[in-house]
Amino acid sequence: MPLYSRDPILLTPGPLTTSLATKTAMLRDWGSWDSAFNAVTARLRAKLLAVIEAADTHVCVPLQGSGTFAVEGAVNTLVPRDGHVLVLINGAYGKRMAKLVQMMGRKVSTFETADDVPTTAADVSRLLTADPSITHVGLIHCETSTGILNPLAEIAAVVARHGRKLIVDAMSSFGALPIDARSTPFDALVAASGKCVEGPPGMGFVFVKKGVLEGCAGHSTSLALDLADQYAYMERTTQWRFTPPTHVVVALEAALDQFVAEGGRTARYARYHANYTTLVDGMTKLGFRVFLDPAIQAPIIVTFHAPPDPKYTFADFYARVRDKGFILYPGKLTQVETFRVGCIGAIGPDEMRHAVNAVRDTLAEMGIGEVAPASARRAAA
């Protein structure tokens, strides 16, 4: 029976389920140029820098829009018109970064591994040695299309050693996975409000090394996405250049206050890891198999092989699980059929156990007997 009495729990990589305190923060209207709202923006920028210990090394530039807006703003602002970006790809978001670099007229090279193979620091060192024209490297820290974790610290060290600049898409890692600007060199790191900091969607933010933006005037081919202009205007006036997402800003500050109260990044990671363990243990008992080796799996979103049973379709499976109170995510792979389950948001292991039960009941309703992929059944035999 559909659970229309409450909002479904979002087992997705964002938007995600937010707390009541975060939702409540959005009930007040704010004037976008009012001094009280400008003070919220200033506090928020400082609190975001504190998450990755970046106050001494970087500045925080918020930007309206989704995370992709912020990635495009970072690349378009920081990479000069004659720059050359090497994009490291092992999923859909690496491909998206390469596409936007190309569309902005910058030279782009790519290095692509399989969806279940992390890029290594040795790969990057070899590529940078072979092509001295590369000025920037683009890395997806946690590739949301599978949940694979790429080795940020090791790759950052190699890029720095070669004297190149690093732009990190940390959408699915910021606030949960270890990132410390004091020990991991990067020129820009991009994240967004609706991920592991558990705010609502609608705002991206870019951490840029201090002093870099001053030399980036004129790089951007976009007015709205020009981070150098956004930063200069905020520093001069304390205001946003264009209408800000006021409700998202104040809700994100509320979410960050809860983040600190919970115990910061280490506590957030511990809760997500408990969610991940509960989910994988439960789904494995039902016969499902994960796509990634646990050694390279981040506890953010998990990709499962879809049941090979001919009665399975994701649309029907999704709708039935949703009626039981949980929203899943479709797969992002092209070679094998999968679906994804997020472990992030204002939820804990109890919600994950209930989600597994919803999947169990859905399999029974659909009459699905074969759950594990054929390769897993052969291995077991």
Domain-located, residue 220: yes
CATH number for the domain spanning 239: value is 3.40.640.10
Domain-located, residue 4: no
- Let me know whether 253 and 295 are in one domain: no
Q: Is residue 119 a contact partner of residue 155, using CB atoms and an 8 Å limit?
A: yes
Confidence at residue 378, expressed as pLDDT on a 0 to 100 scale = 47
Confidence at residue 372, expressed as pLDDT on a 0 to 100 scale = 85
* Predicted model pTM: 0.94
The answer, yes or no, to whether residue 375 has pLDDT greater than 80, is no
- Let me know whether 176 and 273 are in one domain: no
Q: Kindly state the percentage of the chain with pLDDT values over 70.
A: 96
Confidence at residue 3, expressed as pLDDT on a 0 to 100 scale = 45
The answer, yes or no, to whether residue 77 has pLDDT greater than 60, is yes
The answer, yes or no, to whether residue 291 has pLDDT greater than 80, is yes
pLDDT digit string, tens, across residues 353-371 = 999 999 999 999 999 988 9
**Beta-carbon neighbour count of residue 327 at 10 Å?**
19
Tokens 């004037």 map to which residue?
Answer: 31
Tell which residue, 333, 292, 339, has the closest CA to residue 312.
339
- Let me know whether 195 and 307 are in one domain: no
| The last residue of a domain, from among 261, 288, 313 | 261
pLDDT digit string, tens, across residues 18-51 = 999 999 999 999 999 999 999 999 999 999 999 9
**Beta-carbon neighbour count of residue 306 at 10 Å?**
19
What mean pLDDT do residues 336-349 have? 96
Residue 381 pLDDT level (bands cut at 50, 70, 90)? very low
The answer, yes or no, to whether residue 286 has pLDDT greater than 90, is yes
- Let me know whether 43 and 111 are in one domain: yes
- Let me know whether 38 and 118 are in one domain: yes
CATH number for the domain spanning 360: value is 3.90.1150.10
- Let me know whether 70 and 209 are in one domain: yes
Per the structure, the complete domain to which residue 346 belongs is given by 9-15+264-380
Domain-located, residue 2: no
Q: Kindly state the percentage of the chain with pLDDT values over 90.
A: 93
The answer, yes or no, to whether residue 83 has pLDDT greater than 90, is yes
Confidence at residue 2, expressed as pLDDT on a 0 to 100 scale = 47
| The last residue of a domain, from among 245, 261, 277 | 261
- Let me know whether 326 and 249 are in one domain: no
- Let me know whether 303 and 193 are in one domain: no
- Let me know whether 250 and 348 are in one domain: no
What mean pLDDT do residues 290-310 have? 96
pLDDT digit string, tens, across residues 310-332 = 999 999 999 999 999 999 999 98
- Let me know whether 236 and 311 are in one domain: no
Residue 374 pLDDT level (bands cut at 50, 70, 90)? low
- Let me know whether 293 and 339 are in one domain: yes
Confidence at residue 264, expressed as pLDDT on a 0 to 100 scale = 98
Domain-located, residue 3: no
| The last residue of a domain, from among 243, 261, 279 | 261
pLDDT digit string, tens, across residues 178-225 = 999 999 999 999 999 999 999 999 999 999 999 999 999 999 999 999
Confidence at residue 343, expressed as pLDDT on a 0 to 100 scale = 98
Domain-located, residue 62: yes
The answer, yes or no, to whether residue 334 has pLDDT greater than 80, is no
Domain-located, residue 1: no
**Residues listed for the chain:** 381
How many domains does one find in the chain?
2
- Let me know whether 231 and 97 are in one domain: yes
Q: Is residue 210 a contact partner of residue 57, using CB atoms and an 8 Å limit?
A: yes
- State which amino acid sits at residue 313: T
Residue 376 pLDDT level (bands cut at 50, 70, 90)? low
Confidence at residue 285, expressed as pLDDT on a 0 to 100 scale = 97
Residue 149 phi/psi, 5° resolution?
-105, 125
Domain-located, residue 191: yes
* Range with lowest mean pLDDT among 243-247, 354-358, 373-377: 373-377
- State which amino acid sits at residue 162: H
What mean pLDDT do residues 332-360 have? 95
